[in-house]
Amino acid sequence: MPAVKVNHDKITDPDATTKPPKREPVPPGVYVALIMAAPLGVTKGTPPLDKVMVEFQILHGESASETAQAGRRVYQDYILEKDPAKPDLNAQRRWELRMLLDAAAVAYTDDGFNTDHLMNKTVKITVRHRNGTQPDEDGKLPVFTNVVKVDTTEVIRDEDLV
């Protein structure tokens, strides 16, 4: 592998490993976003469950303040299997996954889908906030960005509806 030049301030500083930077959550709203990545992973819970981690990049919003978020990234996990410990969540997780696949026009069967087909698809996402459960070093609950809805960006005219 070739050597790379690093241009960060003091990468050897111990604070570089102990203090992650604060990242402000994307404000709630409706955004048009591009799917940049969809790697597979597993959840941290017990039992670990397979998931796809979708990375959305905001292109623009419906208002000027939302459009100011252009270029920011929003991350959302989609669980790919049933959770025996939380059967009440299985229908919700299946619905969320189906909503993503339908909005991105990705072909799927009951056996699965190809995550490569999610790449570079443009979708409309609705972002909300949720509070974490573990207080941070300041004693405050962290705020996380959640994608609660994924929709197509295709506009359907009223006269085209049956």
Full residue range of the structural domain in which residue 40 is found: 24-153
User: Does any domain span residue 7?
Assistant: no
How many Å apart are CA 154 and CA 10, to the nearest integer? 47
How many Å apart are CA 122 and CA 143, to the nearest integer? 26
User: Does any domain span residue 9?
Assistant: no
How many Å apart are CA 66 and CA 44, to the nearest integer? 32
User: What CATH number should be reported for the domain holding residue 82?
Assistant: 2.40.50
Tell me: the pLDDT tens digits for 86-101? Answer: 899 999 999 999 999 9
Tell me: the pLDDT tens digits for 77-135? Answer: 999 999 998 899 999 999 999 999 999 999 999 999 999 999 999 999 999 999 888 88
Task: Tell me 116's DSSP state.
Answer: G
User: Does any domain span residue 17?
Assistant: no
User: Does any domain span residue 99?
Assistant: yes
User: Does any domain span residue 1?
Assistant: no
Strand partners, 132: none
Do 100 and 93 meet the contact criterion of CB atoms below 8 Å apart?
no
Number of domains in the chain: 1
User: Does any domain span residue 161?
Assistant: no
